[in-house]
């Protein structure tokens, strides 16, 4: 039987799970087959690559065992929490980012419930050749092209456009990280001379959290922008206006709002800076929950990607409402 490569969207099953799951391969390997990213043995991270299999029926799972005992011995499956760490098997002569390619016959163990996870469908679907791509099929095709090596990407015609988008995102992530480092440096300078601890946002321009008048040594900090009529307005007021335009309700902060509902959260440095630029933003402190929700709404409202780096991670707010999280190496986390 021909061996089959596994790609993202492959159907997985666990012998103790009540439902199937799908494999998720992050767009990091840049090796595709039938338009989908190929998996390797390390693509086995719970809740990143391997999603829950409904409920777990294994009494080796402490949660299921406890629930069953409380149910007078009648089996009561509890929500699955995959605990696998690496696929077993692989194709050692075909490496993807240094790891053997994942094959359909490979399996993974879940130590939490002693379950066995297997691939039941390779995820390829229909290929341009009219069927699923196998190792033998790839070898035959390459042989016809007078080359004995195995093809690792069946979609080279589509690759340039996809790679260009990934390269652009990688570039924007790096720009956001550089802006964050500038913001942290400026925050150290301002806060060493300023009576309060302030958050700084930077992208070349600089904003400081709050709305009060600042000392002369912060003259490089932007506090105002222009409205549609060309009048100078406070950046905090610009954020309040943008929130109203989007239908987003800024989280009230009680007395800190000074009589204007949402004003405190509107004054956060990264929100202010977003009124001046669409470039990637760096911020000196971790984004609060309101800022994360605000930029999720902003990306959807303006139908554009917003990239912001803080000391925790780089967040990519997408027009579809999803949010990607990346580390400083540009890897999804």
Average pLDDT over residues 102-121: 92
Angstrom CA distances, 155 to 133, 233, 248, 249, 273, stand at 12, 51, 41, 44, 40
Beta bridge partners of 330: none
| Residue located via tokens 């690759």 | 159
Confidence of residue 228 (pLDDT cuts 50, 70, 90): low
Residue-level pLDDT at 137:
52
Map residue 106 onto helix, strand or coil: coil
**pLDDT surpasses 90 at 12:** yes
Q: Torsions phi, psi of 160, nearest 5?
A: -55, -45
Strands (E), the chain: 11-14, 21-22, 32-33, 36-37, 55-56, 78-79, 91-96, 99-101, 107-110, 115-121, 200-202, 206-208, 224-226, 232-234, 281-283, 306-309, 314-317, 323-326
Residue-level pLDDT at 229:
59
The token pair that represents 331 in the structure block: 């890897």
Confidence of residue 235 (pLDDT cuts 50, 70, 90): confident
Return the CA Rg of the chain: 26
Residue-level pLDDT at 128:
36
pTM for the full model?
0.50
Residue-level pLDDT at 208:
55
| Residue 184 CB contacts under 8 Å (≥ 6 apart), including other chains | 200, 282, 284, 311
Any idea where the domains of the chain sit in the sequence?
Answer: 11-157, 160-326
**pLDDT surpasses 50 at 173:** yes
Confidence of residue 113 (pLDDT cuts 50, 70, 90): confident
**pLDDT surpasses 50 at 155:** no
Q: What is the distance in angstroms between the CA of the first residue and the CA of the last residue of the chain? A: 37
**∠ CA 42-48-49, rounded to 5°:** 50
pLDDT digit string, tens, across residues 34-81: 888 899 999 999 998 999 999 999 999 999 999 999 999 999 999 999
Confidence of residue 221 (pLDDT cuts 50, 70, 90): very low
- For the chain, percent of residues with pLDDT exceeding 70: 74
**pLDDT surpasses 50 at 255:** yes
| Residue located via tokens 């967040």 | 315
**Burial, 238: exposed, middle or buried (Cβ in 10 Å; 0-12, 13-18, 19+)?**
buried
Residue-level pLDDT at 159:
52
Angstrom CA distances, 239 to 176, 183, 218, 294, stand at 21, 20, 21, 10
Residue-level pLDDT at 141:
47
**pLDDT surpasses 60 at 317:** yes
Average pLDDT over residues 169-193: 84
**pLDDT surpasses 50 at 153:** no
**pLDDT surpasses 60 at 18:** yes
For the chain, the average pLDDT equals: 80
- Contact criterion met (CB below 8 Å) for 223 and 235: yes
Question: 16, 24, 86: which is closest to 54 by C-alpha?
Answer: 16
Residue-level pLDDT at 332:
84
Beta bridge partners of 118: 13, 107
- Angle 235-246/289-302 helices, nearest 10 degrees? 60
Residue-level pLDDT at 66:
94
Task: Tell me the C-alpha distance between 149 and 139, whole Å.
Answer: 7
Residue-level pLDDT at 33:
84
| Residue located via tokens 């595709």 | 32
Q: Torsions phi, psi of 321, nearest 5?
A: 95, -10
Least confident of 35-44, 151-160, 234-243, 312-321: 151-160
Q: How many CB atoms are closer than 10 A to CB 193? A: 9
Angstrom CA distances, 329 to 41, 43, 314, 324, 326, stand at 21, 18, 10, 14, 8
Task: Tell me the C-alpha distance between 223 and 203, whole Å.
Answer: 15
**pLDDT surpasses 50 at 130:** no
Which tops the pLDDT comparison, 190 or 328? 328
The token pair that represents 115 in the structure block: 């379950």
Residue-level pLDDT at 28:
77
């Amino acid at each position: 039987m021909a061996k089959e490569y596994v790609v993202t969207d492959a159907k997985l099953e666990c012998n103790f799970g009540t439902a199937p799951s799908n494999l998720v391969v992050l767009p990091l390997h840049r090796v595709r087959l039938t338009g989908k990213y190929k998996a390797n043995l390390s693509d086995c991270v719970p809740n990143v690559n391997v999603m829950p299999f409904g409920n777990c029926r294994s009494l080796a799972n402490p949660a299921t065992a406890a629930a069953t005992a409380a149910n007078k011995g009648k089996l009561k499956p509890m929500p699955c929490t995959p605990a696998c760490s690496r696929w077993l098997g692989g194709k050692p002569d075909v490496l993807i980012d240094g790891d053997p390619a994942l094959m359909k016959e490979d399996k993974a163990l879940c130590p939490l419930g002693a379950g066995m996870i297997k691939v039941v469908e390779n995820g390829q679907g229909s290929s341009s050749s009219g069927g699923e791509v196998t190792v033998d099929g790839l070898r035959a095709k390459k042989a016809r092209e007078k080359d004995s090596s195995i093809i690792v990407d069946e979609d080279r015609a589509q690759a340039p456009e996809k790679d260009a988008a990934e390269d652009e995102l990688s570039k924007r992530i790096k720009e956001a990280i550089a802006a964050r480092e500038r913001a942290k440096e400026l925050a150290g300078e301002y806060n060493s001379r300023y009576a309060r601890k302030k958050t700084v946002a930077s992208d070349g321009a600089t904003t400081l959290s709050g709305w009060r008048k600042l000392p002369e040594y912060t003259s490089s900090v932007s506090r105002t922008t222009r409205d549609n009529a060309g009048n100078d307005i406070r950046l905090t007021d610009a954020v309040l206006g943008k929130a109203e335009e989007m239908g987003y309700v800024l989280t009230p902060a009680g007395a800190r709002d000074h009589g204007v509902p949402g004003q405190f959260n509107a004054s956060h440095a990264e929100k202010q800076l977003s009124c001046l630029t669409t470039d990637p933003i760096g911020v000196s402190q971790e984004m609060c929950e309101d800022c994360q929700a605000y930029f999720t709404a902003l990306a959807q409202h303006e139908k554009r990607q917003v990239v912001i780096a803080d000391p925790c991670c780089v967040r990519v707010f997408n027009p579809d409402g999803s949010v990607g999280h990346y580390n400083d190496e540009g890897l999804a986390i």
